[in-house]
């Protein structure tokens, strides 16, 4: 593999890690800085296919509502790797609900990177599809 191609893979992985770090700070503005204007986001719910959001305005509304409903949301990276224009993130999402009950889900998100920005996120979850 050429050094230039390896650099693109590493850049995509760093981009997804930075996006995840912004998620853990609940910093929607920082999350959006890593997305293309026309980004496509498929959430894990509702089951079975998840809701689809396109563009920063729709994605902003989703994440703002998400963090209001889940103020303790945290995503732990279990594994991450890149290939071609894709990056795969295996994660453990943890929360505390409004009643104080802790919970978690595990899943995978496939990211596509174009011109140094995330242009697609496809999220999949083990379990009933509740969560992200």
Domains observed in the chain: 3-125 (3.10.450.50)
Q: Is the pLDDT of residue 1 over 70?
A: no
pLDDT tens profile 61-109: 999 999 998 899 999 999 999 887 899 999 999 998 878 889 999 999 9
> Contact at 8 Å (CB) between 121 and 111?
yes
The pLDDT value given to residue 124: 96
The pLDDT value given to residue 85: 84
Which pTM was predicted?
Answer: 0.90
> Contact at 8 Å (CB) between 12 and 113?
yes
| List of residues 6+ apart from 14 with CB closer than 8 A | none
Average pLDDT, stretch 98-126? 94
Q: How sure is the predictor about 129, in pLDDT bands with cuts at 50, 70 and 90?
A: very low
Backbone angles phi, psi at 20, to 5 degrees: -65, -40
Task: Quote the CA–CA distance of 121 and 56 in Å, as a whole number.
Answer: 13
Task: Quote the CA–CA distance of 6 and 105 in Å, as a whole number.
Answer: 31
pLDDT tens profile 9-39: 788 999 999 999 999 999 999 999 999 999 9
Which residues partner with 89 through β-bridges?
Answer: 80, 109
């Amino acid at each position: 593999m050429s050094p230039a191609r390896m650099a693109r893979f590493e850049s995509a992985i760093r981009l997804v890690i930075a996006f995840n770090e912004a998620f853990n700070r609940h910093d929607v503005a920082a999350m959006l800085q890593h997305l293309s204007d026309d980004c496509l986001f498929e959430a894990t719910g509702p089951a079975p296919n998840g809701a689809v959001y396109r563009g920063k305005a729709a994605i902003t509304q989703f994440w703002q509502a998400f963090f209001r409903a889940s103020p303790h949301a945290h995503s732990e990276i279990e594994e991450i790797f890149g290939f071609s224009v894709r990056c795969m993130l295996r994660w453990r999402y943890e929360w505390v609900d409004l009643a104080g009950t802790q919970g978690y889900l595990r899943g995978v998100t496939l990211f596509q990177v174009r011109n140094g920005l995330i242009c697609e996120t496809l999220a999949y979850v083990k379990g009933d599809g509740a969560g992200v």
